[in-house]
Amino acid sequence: MVGKQKGGHQEQEPFTILIHRFPAFNLFFCTSLREHYRLLDPHNSPEESVHSYLSREAQKVRALVCVGHTPLKSDVLGLLPSLELVVGSSAGVEHIDLPECRRRGIAVTNAGTAFSEDVADCAIALLIDVLRRVSSGDRYVRSGLWPKCGHIALGSKLGGKRIGIIGLGNIGSEIAKRLLAFGCSIAYNSRKKKVSVPFPFYANVRDLAANSDVLVLCCSLTNETYHIINTDVMKALGKDGVVINVGRGGLVDEKELVRSLVGGEIGGAGLDVFEDEPDVPKELCELDNVVLSPHASVLTPESFEALHDTVLANLNAFFSNKPLVSPFPNE
Ligand SMILES: O=CC(=O)O
């Protein structure tokens, strides 16, 4: 539960925080938020279930910070009758019951632009790694094969590639900016065509794939985007095509991706996210044209600092009746 503590006489406003399992994240958030607000932390009562704690303590809670990807479903929302705001701390908010929030008029925020640059950097790193075989070359050198077997297979140049970006929001725009500097051409698919964007828009992902060398996924996971990369799309992308996923595992039909990679129907993949994290299909681990990363694109102190500022700015805006800084959806 929180209220602004500065000044001391303002009545305490209710506020609660749900704790994610990632300890560094929790510590960072709790320590800092406590400096500004009074927290209700259901996870601090190990003897009691979250549900019974919330039923007793959280009737007047108006704002809730949902840390990381902690699921926030109707069972918990139902225990918070006064809730007006959910402050998400991730870019994707598919773990939050958005229809229920909408139904109750509860505003939702996400990480806004806090992670965009780091996620974009990660997408580029994965792409260069797949094309230029950086990780594969590293394994080659470490395993002592170089003196015995000579050069590794040719890589492929990034400059000149046609990149199809799926989801041209904050992250997608940062990815486009970086790829333009490498001399790539950009096209995109998004919920709708963006008037201010100079790149060709494809309403159909299959058509985008047919006109791209690389597909980069950085859109939200929704009912509409679930398995947006399927067999048809991969066939259209073709045998030299590369899939980069820094969005969510569920955007790609992973079984089909594995089948297409093993069968040489597409050229490679760089994946930071998976359908059943932290489990990764073992076939992917055996492929040299696949680069794997443990959902780590946002894991930098710089991203966390920017997120911290965004979370606080949203809370401060809410409690001073100002517009939220990163409402979701934000377009
Ligand atoms: O995966 C990370 C995020 O959605 O912020």
Model confidence at 280, pLDDT cuts 50, 70, 90, reads: very high
Who has greater pLDDT, 23 or 258? 258
239-255: per-residue pLDDT in tens?
A: 999 999 999 999 999 99
Which ipTM was obtained for this model? 0.94
Model confidence at 3, pLDDT cuts 50, 70, 90, reads: very low
Atom of ligand 1 nearest to the CA of 295: 1
**Residues 143 and 238 both lie in one domain:** yes
C-alpha distance from residue 64 to each of 51, 101, 201, 291 (Å)? 15, 12, 37, 36
Beta bridge partners of 164: 187, 215
C-alpha distance from residue 157 to each of 20, 129, 135, 136, 196 (Å)? 40, 11, 16, 16, 29
Question: Does residue 111 line the site of ligand 1, with CB under 6 A?
Answer: yes
Model confidence at 33, pLDDT cuts 50, 70, 90, reads: confident
122-160: per-residue pLDDT in tens?
A: 999 999 999 999 999 999 999 999 999 999 999 999 999
Question: Does residue 246 line the site of ligand 1, with CB under 6 A?
Answer: no
Region 319-329: mean pLDDT is 95
Q: What is the largest CA-CA distance in the chain?
A: 75
Question: Does residue 318 line the site of ligand 1, with CB under 6 A?
Answer: no
What are 11's two structure tokens? Answer: 């009545």
**Residues 313 and 265 both lie in one domain:** no
Who has greater pLDDT, 21 or 103? 103
**Residues 233 and 272 both lie in one domain:** yes
**Residues 22 and 90 both lie in one domain:** yes
Q: Report the CATH number that the domain containing residue 74 is assigned in CATH.
A: 3.40.50.720
Region 63-70: mean pLDDT is 88
Is position 326 within any domain?
no
Mean pLDDT is lowest, of 71-75, 133-137, 267-271, for 71-75
CA of 329 to the centre of ligand 1 (A): 15
Model confidence at 68, pLDDT cuts 50, 70, 90, reads: confident
CA of 306 to the centre of ligand 1 (A): 13
Domain ranges, residue 213: 115-292
HEC string for the chain:
CCCCCCCCCCCCCCEEEECCCCHHHHHHHHHHHHHHCCCECHHHCCCCCHHHHHHHHCCCCCEEEECCCCCECHHHHCCCCCCCEEEECCCCCCCECHHHHHHHCCEEECCCCCCHHHHHHHHHHHHHHHHHCHHHHHHHHHCCHHHHHCCCCCCCCCCCCEEEEECCCHHHHHHHHHHHHCCCEEEEECCCCCCCCCCCECCCHHHHHHCCCEEEECCCCCCCCCCCECHHHHHHHCCCCEEEECCCHHHECHHHHHHHHHCCCCCEEEECCCCECCECCHHHHCCCCEEECCCCCCCCHHHHHHHHHHHHHHHHHHHCCCCCCCECCCC
Is position 216 within any domain?
yes
Model confidence at 26, pLDDT cuts 50, 70, 90, reads: low
CA of 101 to the centre of ligand 1 (A): 20
Model confidence at 188, pLDDT cuts 50, 70, 90, reads: very high
**What is the pLDDT, as a whole number, of residue 14?**
46
**Residues 129 and 239 both lie in one domain:** yes
**Residues 191 and 272 both lie in one domain:** yes
pTM: 0.92
CA of 69 to the centre of ligand 1 (A): 8
pLDDT at 1 over 70: no
Model confidence at 329, pLDDT cuts 50, 70, 90, reads: confident
Mean pLDDT is lowest, of 3-7, 30-34, 259-263, 309-313, for 3-7
Is position 1 within any domain?
no
Sequence-distant (6+) residues with CB within 8 A of 41 are 16, 17, 19, 30
**Residues 64 and 125 both lie in one domain:** no
Is position 67 within any domain?
yes
Region 189-212: mean pLDDT is 97
Domain count, the chain: 2
**Residues 126 and 95 both lie in one domain:** no
**What is the pLDDT, as a whole number, of residue 320?**
93
Model confidence at 5, pLDDT cuts 50, 70, 90, reads: very low
Who has greater pLDDT, 324 or 6? 324
**Residues 285 and 310 both lie in one domain:** no
48-63: per-residue pLDDT in tens?
A: 887 888 888 888 889 9
**Residues 201 and 284 both lie in one domain:** yes
- Show which residues are catalytic: 248, 277, 295
**Residues 153 and 93 both lie in one domain:** no
**Residues 54 and 119 both lie in one domain:** no
Who has greater pLDDT, 149 or 39? 149
Mean pLDDT is lowest, of 29-33, 49-53, 305-309, for 29-33
pLDDT at 306 over 70: yes
Q: Which of 298, 300, 304, 330 to mutate to test the pocket of ligand 1 (most atoms within 8 A of CB)?
A: 298
Average pLDDT over the chain, rounded to whole?
Answer: 91
